Amino acid sequence: MIELKHLGKTYETSSGSVTALRDIDLTIQDGEIFGVIGLSGAGKSTLVRCINLLERPTQGEVWIDGQELTRLPQKQLLAMRRNIGMIFQGFNLLEQRTVLSNVAFPLMLAGEKKDKAQARAAELLGLVGLSDKARSYPSQLSGGQKQRVAIARALSTSPKYLLCDEATSALDPNTTRAILELLRQINRDLGVTIIIITHEMKVIDQICDRVAVIDHSSIAEEGKVSDVFTNPQSQIARELILPQDISAAQTSGGAQLRIIFSGESAKQPVLSQLTLECQVPVNILFADTKEVEGKAYGQMLLELPCDENQAEKVRTWLRSSGIQWKEESK
Ligand SMILES: Nc1ncnc2c1ncn2[C@@H]1O[C@H](COP(=O)(O)OP(=O)(O)OP(=O)(O)O)[C@@H](O)[C@H]1O
């Protein structure tokens, strides 16, 4: 289990102090895929780098499996770090070494003999689907393949935790999906706890169990992905989750209603049922639904006719339908 307690980080620069993290309290349970999302500069990278002390916090504590990292002597800290793999947006592979050698490298640094390290590396390349690239060099690989090598390398010391810092941000959507699927498989099959830092909601959406939303150095909101998605509490979560154009629009039509789909109701053909039964035309101003944990979630912004009788018919229908909705102020 990872516990961050009152974690803070202030950088001292020539132009003054920059507070990157302020009073962060987070608990990440074993076996979870935990996401941290925020806008650029919110403090995400600093947060993830504080977990393995690549960056030393200036306040607070980092507890991993009952040990407080900031107080560990260097030797024990290095041993603990072997338990925490990390992958980055830029892959950080050694260009002069083959793929196999890149993956074997951390094990050799840890004192493993070359043949054993290479055998383990070959096994891991099989796991990430790159056995045929063992003798290639990083420059001969695609971005997705490079990230697979980085994942294999991060797993070489059999870590219990894997930190992913914007690991898919440089990849196209299909490659992103494939890499996230691989991470999910690693979580499921190897039991590795995964912490994902991203600015993209779709990454959280695809694989995370829980998410923390970070804004201006602090945690704005934290919870199950499905809860935060359907009912974001903080302004920043709303901005990240709901696309900009879903806020009530200035239109010349009637009242605007926001329909919130959660799980089962999203599958129903709500709109066609509504228009058929009410015999009232409604405008869809915006619609967006997503799959989270195998269920569909989303929102739809509807514009009702100006005729108040017709509008009330729709409201009455919605009240009796059990569908979650609310009136928007324009
Ligand atoms: N080494 C550093 N020295 C000084 N300030 C830093 C340093 N690293 C980060 N910062 C500052 O700390 C704040 C948080 O940066 P951080 O990189 O953690 O944010 P981020 O959410 O990961 O952003 P991005 O998504 O753009 O990488 C920013 O204001 C940044 O300028």
Q: Write out pLDDT tens, residues 174-224.
A: 999 999 999 999 999 999 999 999 988 889 988 999 999 999 999 999 999
Please write the tens of the pLDDT for every residue from 71-93. Answer: 999 999 988 988 999 999 999 99
How many A from CA of 41 to the centre of ligand 1? Answer: 5
**Which amino acid, one-letter code, is at 49?**
R
Residue 252: CB atoms within 10 Å: 6
pTM of model > 0.90 = no
**Atom 6 of ligand 1, residue of closest alpha carbon:** 11
Q: What is the DSSP string of 130-195?
A: -GGGTTS-GGGS-HHHHHHHHHHHHHTT--SEEEEESTTTTS-HHHHHHHHHHHHHHHHHH--EEE
SS3 at position 298: strand
Mutate to test the pocket of ligand 1, among 17, 40, 46 (most ligand atoms within 8 A of CB): 46
How many A from CA of 199 to the centre of ligand 1? Answer: 13
Mean pLDDT value across residues 235-262 = 74
Domain with CATH 3.40.50.300 in the chain: 2-231
- Residue 245 above 70 pLDDT? no
**Atom 18 of ligand 1, residue of closest alpha carbon:** 43
Backbone angles phi, psi at 193, to 5 degrees: -80, 130
Provide ipTM, 2 decimals. Answer: 0.96
Report the C-alpha gap between 84 and 34 in whole angstroms: 14
Sign of CA dihedral 9, 14, 15, 16: positive
- Residue 294 above 80 pLDDT? no
Please state which of the four CATH numbers 3.40.50.2000, 3.40.50.1360, 3.30.365.10, 3.40.50.300 is assigned to the domain occupying 2-231. Answer: 3.40.50.300
Pocket (CB within 6 angstroms of ligand 1): 11, 13, 18, 20, 38, 40-46, 199
Report the C-alpha gap between 10 and 28 in whole angstroms: 23
Give the pLDDT score at 232: 82
How many A from CA of 31 to the centre of ligand 1? Answer: 28
Tokens of 119: 């055998």
Residue 325: CB atoms within 10 Å: 19
* Element (DSSP H or E) covering residue 321: helix 308-321
Please write the tens of the pLDDT for every residue from 6-59. Answer: 999 999 999 999 999 999 999 999 999 999 999 989 999 999 999 999 999 999
Mutate to test the pocket of ligand 1, among 9, 17, 18 (most ligand atoms within 8 A of CB): 18
CATH fold label, 244-328? Alpha-Beta Plaits (3.30.70)
